[in-house]
Structure 1
C-alpha cells in the first residue's frame, strides 16, 4: 500500500517539506484554480509536478504527483444541460494530458451541488482538539429555517424537526451565519463566493432529476470517458457521497455497495473503479467496509482511510470525524482486506498491485490549532493518523503476523 498525502497547492498551509517529514511516498493533488469543465493543459500539469518535486529551499523533494484528486465533473454534465458535451470532450483531453505526464489514477465524484457537507468545521473534542462534524439537528435548522427550501420540513423525522426548531429559536445571528457558511463550504471553491440564493438556484436545477435520472447521466458520462481511460491504461475511481444519505432533496447514487456494484456492472471496464472512502461510507451503519474491500477490491484504485463516530441510530444521523483507529469502522480489518487484495493482484501479475492510500482528514491537535489549514487537512492530525495506519500496515505485513 502506497502512502500518499493530499496537497492543495502552493497556498496550502501544509507544505512539501511537512510531507517529507511525515514520511509520505507520493502526493495527491489537483489543479483547483482551473475552472470546472475546462481542459487541464500540459503546461499547468507540468507546473504542479514541478511544485511537488521541489522543497522550500529549491532542492529536489523526491516526491511525485501520484493521484489526481480531483478532476471535477461539472454540474452541466451531471444535469446534461448547457455545455455538458463540451465538458465531456474536455475531460477526455485532460485525461490524455495527464497520461502524457505519467499520471494514471484519477479520483472524482458525481455528487450534485455539494462536494461534502458538515455543520461544524472545528467541533471541540474532550481532549481539546477539534474536528469536523455533521449534526443532523443543526442541518435541519439550516435547511428549514435559514435556506427555507420548499419541502425541507418533510425531509426530516418529526422528532428532528422539533429539536431543530428549538435550536433555531435560541441560535445567535453569529451562529446562523457560521452554520450557513459551514454548509456552503462544501460547494467546490465556493466558501467565500456563494450566497444562499446561489444555493437555491443550484438546487432548483435538480428539481426534475431523481436518482434514476442522475444515475443515467452518470452512466452516460462513464460510457464516454471510461473507454478512453481504459485505452490509456488509466484508472478512474469514483468517491462516494459525503455524507452517504440524502440531503437538500438531492438524489444520492454513490452511498452503498449496491450503488457501486450497479455502476461497475453498467460500464464493466477495469478502468471504471472505486475510491473506497472509509470515512464517507462509514457514516452509514449498513456499509460493511472490510466486506466491500473483499467483494469489490479488484476495482478499488484508491483508498481514503479515515474514521467517523456515528452519534445516532439509523442511516442518516449525526457523526463526527474520529481518530483513525477510534471510530466505528474496523480499520485493522479494512487494511487486512486491502492487503489480501494486493496479494491477489501480485499473484495475477497486475501492474497496479500496490493500492495508493492517504490518511483522509484528521483532527486538529497541538500546533494545528494555530495553523488553521484547510478544514479536515491539518498537518499534525494527519501525521498522527498516518503513523497509526502505518503501524497497522507494518504489523499486518510482518512475517511474524503469519505465525
Structure 2
C-alpha cells in the first residue's frame, strides 16, 4: 500500500509539472521535426571535478524528461523518435567547442544541455549561435552568458554568480563578517564570482581586504590558506569561491590549518549536496550558502527527487533537476509549436511564466533568455536534525525571483 501511494504521488507530481509546461497537444499530432527525430545532447563533465554535480546523472535527468514526455503524449507526441546523446568536455573550452560542433553538425542535436565550467559554456554558446541551434545552460554560472556574449539561441536556466553572491555575500557581511579574503579559480566562473562577491560585500558594508586567483583544477591550496592569518587587516571571513572537488580540497585544508580557531570563518560561494557528502555534513554544519533548489524544498520537489533516486540511486543536485526542467520545457515548446526549429521553439518559450518542481515563480525573460525564479538562502543542516541520509539543507529564507537575479544587462542584444 505504501509503495502504491508513493507511486501515485510521484505520478501526480509529473503530471502537474508537464501540465504546467504547456499541456495539450500540438497543432496536429506528429508535427514536423528535422531529420525525422529530435536529438537532445548533454555536454558535461563525465569524469572530472564536476562529474558529481552534473555528469552521468545529468544525462539521466534529460533521459527521464524524455521518458516522461513520451509517456504523457504517446502517439500524439510531435515525434516518438527522441534520442539523448552525451559527450565529455573535460572542463576544457577547446574540447567543449569541438564536442558541441560534433553534436550539432554530425549528430544532428537540436538542443544541448548542462555544460558545467563557465569557460566551456561560453565556447558552447558561440557554437550554438553559429549553428543556430538551442543551448540550455544549467551548469555554468557566469553572468556573461546572459550579458555581453548573449545570443538568441542560449537560455540560462538555473543560477548565476549574481544570485550566489548577493545571497551569501550580503548575508554573511550583514551578520558581522566585514573583512573578507577571497580565493577563486582562475577562469571565467571564478573571475566573475570574485567581482560579484566583492560588489555584494561592499554593498552590505564590508570589504575584501585581499583576493587571490587559484589554479584550476587544484588539490593544494596551502599557499593561500597559510597566508590568510597574516593579512592586514586580518580577514574575518575566508570566501572560498571554488566548486566541486576543488571546493572539497579547500575546505579540508581550511580545517587542517585550523583557520576557524584563528578567528577566520568560512563562507562558500557555491555548494551542492554532493559537496556536503564529500566533505561531511558534520564539518560544514551551520555554513551559510545560496542555492537555486534543494531536493526536499517542498512535496513536489521531493516526489520528483524520489523518482530520480529510484532511477540513479542518488538524490539530485540542482544542476540535474534544472536539466530535467529545461528538457521538459523544450519538449513541451516543440510540441506546442509542432516543430523543433529553434526559432519556433523559442517563440513558445520567450516570456513564459511557470512554476514547476524546480523553478518557483519563474519567468523566461524574452530580453536575455534568463530564467528568473525564487532562490534560497540556506545553511548546512546539523546531521542530528537530518530526516535521512542526504538531508543536508536547512532553509533560512526564500529570495524572491525579482531579487534573486539582476536586471537584464544593457550589453545583451538578442535581436
Q: TM-score, normalised by structure 2?
A: 0.29
Which fold has the larger relative contact order, with Cα–Cα distance below 8 Å and residues 6 or more apart in sequence? 2
Q: TM-score, normalised by structure 1?
A: 0.30
